[in-house]
């Protein structure tokens, strides 16, 4: 059947809807979803995107130094060999503007823009039980009826500005790393304060320091930060990778985290001091996530094992920072390594050796107030500033979904259903919200992986679900309550067996006052999760109900 014929069939079969699918967001997820549904399956799909262009995360996060922490050769789509071969990345890690250019190229190559409505926020979506359709309302006053609603909203797209007293009173310039001005910012000759020391600050601070006359970093929690080791990639390495498209694709799909990284066979507690240091040094010199996601797996479970790795990392910080007092402040304390997202460093620690750069501990002495002239701490110390940069992160994973009034059966609001933490099956669907699919939703591997790998897997699984529904002539799919409950329990048990709950992180929702403390990503790992999903599909959609007909899930799904 040609695409045109399929389109005609889809149109005639869907008189009760305006489109077959509404997709929210035009980042990696939304673009691939649109390409799959429209170009491959011949469905009518429409994307709503709040930005004026494509890119999602990479549209908004334009702060100085913004780049992916994934190696560029695996930070892209693998679904099309020619696309993969024709795109050239300039460095080991792709910079923000390059990723955006890549996504613009994808948009053009697959003619996607004509079905994307830009500068439009989806405000609400309500499930209509009488027709098994969703009514989607936007801030431009449009209402669209669709069979399938697919959220491609990203896990880190709802920016968080802490509710400091006086936050609106500052008379100088205010920025947030998560929605940076398109025209850039010139900090030359300015006194700048950066609040936060996560991955965004770690990338921005060295570059802001080059311009600012005075820079103060307000740090609440010191981070474990390892070298990025960015730079050009040797032409012969690039060539070898191009030739190995199939191999790379297979390996990252089967891997633990979507990278070409494997854990050491032995644990940190099973090797001598000498071997441990040699291995850690090797990974330190290579740069990237090797020390975190390709090191010693026992460090995620045993504090004793973890302490051996942290000791090495503490030493490295002390070597890099001249002033011993500043170094001590930069040494993380009170939580294990690896359970808080590990930022990659390109000169962050060395920046604190510059005379005009200062580090302030706002754990011991919290920010009491933002004033017209700057920041005041609890002990009364004041900092006069010309600009404040909030590098204070995101209401992660659930935040972007909670901002939309998504109402399922009985008009229940998704954010209310998730009041005590997310409740999903596979991080893909939630009971009583039929035909709502979430790309890399909470309780899927998502943020604990190289995102494009997880995105492709979810998009392809959703496409398969929609294809199967249409083939059966079914109009409604949803997880069973039993499968969802068991998945939630499985995720909590898996997290509780690790050290992840021991730190206050956005994985735990701990960065947002009042958010329930629940570990949100899934810990099955990319390859095993993928295999689990494939088996679920092959067994006739275990744990799901199609038009009310449920297929129970095997116990292995929750192991
Ligand atoms: P983040 O990691 O959540 O860091 C936010 C920072 O703001 C933390 O240092 C936090 O301190 C601080 N903060 C929050 N509320 C505060 C308050 N009331 N007072 C003082 N400090 C406060 O956010 P992010 O740096 O934007 O990164 C978020 C995630 O986005 C990353 O973990 C990563 O997954 C992704 N990201 C990726 C890249 C990349 O791939 N290169 C780059 C940037 C971001 P606490 O630590 O004490 O909470």
Distance, CA 175 to ligand 1 centroid (Å)?
14
Separation between Cα atoms, residue 119 and residue 117, nearest integer Å: 7
- Residue 1's pLDDT is 37
Instruction: Supply the DSSP string of 373-386, one letter for each residue.
Output: SEEEETTS-EEE-S
Separation between Cα atoms, residue 73 and residue 277, nearest integer Å: 29
Which residue has the CA at smallest separation from atom 8 of ligand 1? 196
Which residue has the CA at smallest separation from atom 45 of ligand 1? 221
The yes-or-no verdict on residue 10 having pLDDT over 80 is no
- Residue 16's pLDDT is 86
Distance, CA 163 to ligand 1 centroid (Å)?
15
Q: Are 417 and 430 in contact (CB under 8 A)?
A: yes
- Residue 7's pLDDT is 40
Model pLDDT for residues 401-440, shown as the tens digit of each residue: 999 999 999 999 999 999 999 999 999 999 999 999 999 9
The yes-or-no verdict on residue 67 having pLDDT over 70 is yes
Which residue has the CA at smallest separation from atom 28 of ligand 1? 393
- Residue 8's pLDDT is 39
3-state DSSP helix/strand/coil % of the chain, to nearest 5: 40, 15, 45
Mapped onto helix, strand or coil, the DSSP state of residue 106 is helix
Separation between Cα atoms, residue 85 and residue 53, nearest integer Å: 24
Separation between Cα atoms, residue 106 and residue 86, nearest integer Å: 11
Distance, CA 355 to ligand 1 centroid (Å)?
25
- Residue 410's pLDDT is 96
Model pLDDT for residues 292-350, shown as the tens digit of each residue: 999 999 999 999 999 999 999 999 999 999 999 999 999 999 999 999 999 999 999 99
Distance, CA 390 to ligand 1 centroid (Å)?
10
Ligand 1: nearest atom to the Cα of 393: 23
- Residue 63's pLDDT is 98
Which residue has the CA at smallest separation from atom 26 of ligand 1? 393
Give every CB contact of residue 516 below 8 A, 6+ residues apart in sequence.
419, 420, 421, 509
- Residue 2's pLDDT is 37
Nearest CA to 525 out of 450, 459, 464 is that of 450
Separation between Cα atoms, residue 518 and residue 421, nearest integer Å: 6
Mutate to test the pocket of ligand 1, among 164, 193, 199, 370 (most ligand atoms within 8 A of CB): 199
Per-residue CA distances from 477 to 9, 427, 465, 547 (Å): 21, 15, 8, 6
Distance, CA 177 to ligand 1 centroid (Å)?
10
Query: pLDDT above 90 covers what percent of the chain?
Result: 97
The yes-or-no verdict on residue 542 having pLDDT over 50 is yes
- Mean predicted confidence (pLDDT) in 546-555: 98
How confident is the prediction for the chain on average, in pLDDT? 96
Model pLDDT for residues 158-195, shown as the tens digit of each residue: 999 999 999 999 999 999 999 999 999 999 999 999 99
- Name the DSSP class of 318: H
Distance, CA 544 to ligand 1 centroid (Å)?
36
Side-chain-facing half-sphere of 211: CA atoms under 13 Å: 15
Model pLDDT for residues 491-506, shown as the tens digit of each residue: 999 999 999 999 999 9
Mutate to test the pocket of ligand 1, among 74, 175, 200 (most ligand atoms within 8 A of CB): 200
The yes-or-no verdict on residue 87 having pLDDT over 90 is yes
Distance, CA 541 to ligand 1 centroid (Å)?
37
Ligand 1: nearest atom to the Cα of 201: 25
Q: Which CATH code fits 3-54+112-158+396-474?
A: 3.50.50.60
Give every CB contact of residue 97 below 8 A, 6+ residues apart in sequence.
62
Residue spans of the domains in the chain: they are 3-54+112-158+396-474, 193-390
The yes-or-no verdict on residue 242 having pLDDT over 50 is yes
Which residue has the CA at smallest separation from atom 2 of ligand 1? 198
Ligand 1 proximal residues by C-beta, below 6 Å: 67-69, 156, 162, 177, 195-201, 203, 220-221, 341, 362, 367, 391-394, 447, 506, 511
- Residue 15's pLDDT is 57
Separation between Cα atoms, residue 191 and residue 211, nearest integer Å: 10
Distance, CA 195 to ligand 1 centroid (Å)?
9
Which residue has the CA at smallest separation from atom 23 of ligand 1? 393
Q: Are 557 and 426 in contact (CB under 8 A)?
A: no
The yes-or-no verdict on residue 6 having pLDDT over 90 is no
């Amino acid at each position: 059947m040609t695409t045109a014929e399929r389109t005609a069939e889809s149109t005639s079969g869907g008189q009760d809807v305006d489109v077959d699918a509404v997709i929210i967001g035009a980042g990696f997820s939304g673009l691939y979803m649109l390409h799959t549904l429209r170009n491959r399956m011949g469905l009518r799909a429409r994307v709503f995107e709040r930005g004026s262009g494509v890119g999602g995360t990479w549209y908004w996060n334009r702060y100085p130094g913004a780049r992916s922490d994934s190696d560029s050769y695996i930070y892209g789509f693998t679904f099309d060999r020619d696309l993969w071969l024709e795109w050239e990345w300039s460095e080991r890690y792709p910079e923000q503007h390059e990723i955006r250019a890549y996504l613009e190229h994808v948009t053009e190559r697959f003619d996607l823009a004509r079905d994307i409505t830009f500068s439009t926020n989806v405000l609400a979506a309500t499930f209509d039980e009488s027709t098994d359709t969703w009514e989607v309302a936007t801030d431009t006053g449009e209402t669209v009826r669709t069979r399938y609603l697919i959220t491609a909203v990203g896990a880190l797209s709802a920016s968080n500005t802490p509710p400091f007293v006086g936050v609106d009173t500052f008379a100088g310039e205010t920025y947030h790393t998560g929605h940076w001005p398109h025209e850039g910012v010139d900090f030359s000759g300015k006194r700048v304060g950066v609040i936060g020391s996560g991955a965004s600050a770690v990338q921005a601070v060295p570059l802001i320091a080059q311009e600012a006359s005075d820079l103060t970093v307000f740090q609440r929690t010191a981070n474990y930060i390892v070298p990025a080791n960015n730079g050009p990639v040797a032409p012969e390495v690039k060539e070898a990778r191009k030739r190995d498209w199939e191999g790379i694709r297979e390996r990252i799909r089967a891997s633990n985290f979507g990278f070409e990284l494997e854990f050491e066979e032995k644990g940190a507690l099973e090797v001598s001091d000498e071997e441990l240091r040699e291995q850690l040094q090797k990974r330190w010199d290579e740069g990237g996530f090797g020390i975190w996601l390709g090191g010693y797996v026992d460090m995620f479970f045993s504090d004793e094992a973890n302490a051996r790795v942290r000791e090495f990392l503490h030493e490295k910080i002390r070597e890099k920072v001249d002033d011993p007092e500043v170094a001590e402040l930069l040494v993380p304390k009170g939580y294990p390594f690896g359970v808080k997202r590990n930022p990659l460093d390109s000169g962050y620690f060395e920046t604190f050796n510059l005379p005009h750069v200062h580090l302030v501990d706002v754990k011991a002495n919290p920010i009491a107030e933002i004033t017209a002239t700057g920041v005041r701490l609890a002990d009364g110390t004041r900092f006069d500033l010309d600009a404040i940069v909030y590098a204070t992160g995101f209401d992660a994973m659930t935040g972007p979904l909670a901002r939309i009034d998504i109402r399922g059966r009985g008009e229940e609001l998704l954010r209310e259903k998730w009041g005590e933490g997310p409740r999903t099956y596979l991080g893909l669907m939630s009971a009583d919200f039929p035909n709502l699919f979430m790309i890399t939703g909470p309780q899927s591997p998502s943020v604990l992986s190289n995102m494009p790998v997880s995105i492709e897997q979810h998009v392809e699984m959703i496409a398969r679900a929609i294809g199967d529904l249409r083939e059966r002539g079914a109009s409604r799919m949803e997880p069973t309550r039993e499968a969802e409950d068991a998945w939630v329990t499985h995720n909590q048990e898996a997290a509780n067996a690790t050290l992840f709950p021991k730190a206050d992180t956005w994985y735990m929702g701990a960065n947002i006052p009042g958010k329930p403390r629940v570990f949100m990503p899934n810990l099955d790992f990319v390859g095993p999760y993928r295999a689990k999903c494939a088996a679920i599909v092959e067994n006739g959609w275990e744990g799901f109900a199609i038009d009310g007909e449920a297929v129970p899930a095997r116990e292995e799904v929750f192991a």
